[in-house]
């Protein structure tokens, strides 16, 4: 059984990730989740914004721009045949 596809936008700074998530949470508390960045993407202690609808990426990008927050990249995640399939979107 395939897992649900989701997306992660990786933020370089933990503080910036928390700040961005706070703003996104005010906009819609059910769409965006603050999670640790998986080691497959970036080693270290960064955070990412997790979301399920790719159309919501524009909201994240706009808010990050308003707050002058640098985005490392956005990735799609899907589990197929017991393996994580990770693809960089931008």
The predicted pLDDT at position 2 comes to: 55
Cβ-defined contacts of 54-59 (< 8 Å, 24+): 54/7, 54/89, 56/31, 56/32, 57/7, 57/9, 57/89, 59/24, 59/27, 59/31
pLDDT in single tens digits along all 90 residues of the chain: 456 899 999 998 999 999 999 999 999 989 999 999 988 887 677 899 999 999 999 999 999 999 999 999 999 999 888 888 999 998
Task: Show me where the domains of the chain are located.
Answer: 6-88
pLDDT tens readout for residues 59-83: 999 999 999 999 999 999 998 888 8
* CATH number among 3.30.70.870, 1.10.1740.10, 3.20.20.140, 3.30.300.30, domain 6-88: 3.30.70.870
């Amino acid at each position: 059984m395939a897992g649900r596809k989701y997306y992660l936008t990786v933020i370089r700074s933990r503080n910036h990730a928390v700040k961005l998530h706070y703003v996104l949470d005010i906009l819609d508390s059910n769409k965006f989740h603050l999670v640790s960045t998986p080691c497959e993407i970036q080693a270290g202690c960064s955070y990412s914004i997790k979301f399920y609808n790719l159309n919501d990426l524009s909201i994240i990008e706009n808010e990050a721009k308003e707050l002058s927050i640098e985005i490392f990249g956005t990735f799609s995640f899907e589990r197929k045949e017991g393996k994580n399939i990770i693809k960089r979107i931008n």
